[in-house]
Amino acid sequence: MNVNKELVEKARSTYGDGKVILSLEQKGFCVALLKNGKTAEKEARVAKEFSKLIRKSSVSWVDYIVEDLQKDALGVASSLGFSDQLVSTLLKGASESGYEDLDKEFGLLVPVIFAKGFEVEIDHLLLLIKKNVVVTIHTTEASRFFRLRRYGKIFMQKIQPRDKKQDQVTMVLTRLLDENNSRNFDSLRHIEQSADKVSEKLSRTDTPREEIGQEIHLMKHALMIYLHGLWQTIDVLNTLRYGDPELLSDDERLLERIGALVIEVNYQIQLAEHMGEVLASGLEVMQSIYNNQLQILNNKLALLVGYLTVLGTAVLVPNTIATIFGVPFFTFGADFLPYYLLIIAASTILSIVLAYWWVRTTGLLSQQTG
């Protein structure tokens, strides 16, 4: 079935390269630099249909999307001429990165990081390399080569047909690894955007501590997953850099590109670690806010105790005197009423003054409520 390219381009312009409606895309894509210097591309649902184009090419790249990397990758790789041993060895360690060199063919298992907010997941990209072909196999979630598919011919035109096979394969491989690194770096941008919202909440003292604590935990967890993926990537790139596979170039200029990829990933790690430092400072801010809230509450309680002490004294003393004078033992007549009121008023004022002096002396009324 032929794909309506105009419809695909319209979907890309609407939803972006990373959100293309996959039903409009063929599962497989191949772009090749032919031996006469021309370029050709082909889309197909079955990977075996690319075999003829690969044989005619000087170097080619095949990108294929599978539903399940563990179940489907072996069949796709076999149809393109790769051994079961190579693929099986790489997929055994699918939870981590991988590198396997069988002289005539070798493969890489590279982490693919994608994030939505603080939800970060790691999938894997399988790269298989033979004499004149580089194959990328990945799942729908790990798709990241749609943009490169669009400009595949332009990329191949930059490779000279007279170059050595190893040089051509190395240029294709480094370009694919660079694209994967770039898409991984986009995940850090998504994490940073979500972290900015958390910092906004940290700037408000009325934000519930439980809410901030949960979001900071999610941010920390997202960074840990992201860093784990980058460390796996560094491991693969260093193995590729120093493993010296026969299928790759010995040209120092081309090998420096792999070194540049390592530097780029290290730079991403530094940025992620810097975000971790920001996270640590955020935790300190959160603890300071919490301590400040406790201090404010403590000051308010101390102030309340001081006022209640004065108020209680103002009520208790005259009430006690009135109770004493109300005992039948005292037989005061109506003529004693002015003296009675004077005693109550004087004792009340005196007790309030003494209570207030004592409260001020102890510092209960000198606390600041913030």
Average pLDDT over residues 306-320: 75
Gap between the Cα atoms of 34 and 40, Å rounded:
7
Give the torsion sign (CA, 156, 189, 266, 107): negative
Contact, 41 vs 23, CB < 8 A? no
Residue 167 Cα distances to 103, 248, 256, 260, 351, angstroms: 16, 7, 13, 17, 98
Model pLDDT for residues 81-91, shown as the tens digit of each residue: 999 999 999 98
- The better pLDDT of the pair 38, 340 is held by 38
Q: What is the pLDDT of residue 97?
A: 65
Query: Is the pLDDT assigned to residue 21 strictly greater than 50?
Result: no
Share of the chain above pLDDT 90, in %: 29
Residue 285 pLDDT level (bands cut at 50, 70, 90): low
Domains of the chain (ranges, CATH numbers): 5-287 (3.30.460.20), 295-362 (no CATH)
Contact, 370 vs 296, CB < 8 A? yes
Q: How is residue 42 written in tokens?
A: 């082909």
Query: Is the pLDDT assigned to residue 11 strictly greater than 60?
Result: no
Task: Kindly report the average pLDDT of the chain as a whole number.
Answer: 81
**What letter does residue 45 receive in the DSSP assignment?**
S
Among the residue ranges 148-152, 295-299, 320-324, the one predicted with the least confidence is 320-324
Q: What is the pLDDT of residue 27?
A: 86
Average pLDDT over residues 165-191: 91
Query: Is the pLDDT assigned to residue 23 strictly greater than 50?
Result: no
Inter-axis angle of helices 165-202 and 209-243, nearest 10 = 170
Q: DSSP string covering 145-161, please?
A: -HHHHHTHHHHHHTS-T
Among the residue ranges 22-26, 55-59, 112-116, 355-359, the one predicted with the least confidence is 22-26
Model pLDDT for residues 115-143, shown as the tens digit of each residue: 888 888 899 999 999 989 999 999 887 67
Q: What is the pLDDT of residue 106?
A: 92
pTM, two decimals, is 0.71
Residue 330 pLDDT level (bands cut at 50, 70, 90): low
Contact, 51 vs 80, CB < 8 A? yes
Q: What is the pLDDT of residue 351?
A: 80
Q: Region of 108 please: left (phi>0), alpha (psi -120 to 50) or beta.
A: beta
**What letter does residue 124 receive in the DSSP assignment?**
E
Query: Is the pLDDT assigned to residue 8 strictly greater than 60?
Result: no
Average pLDDT over residues 14-27: 52
Residue 214 pLDDT level (bands cut at 50, 70, 90): confident
> Which of 147, 111, 334, 141 has its CA nearest to residue 227?
111
For β-strands 39-44 and 57-66, DSSP reports them as unpaired
Q: What is the pLDDT of residue 217?
A: 82
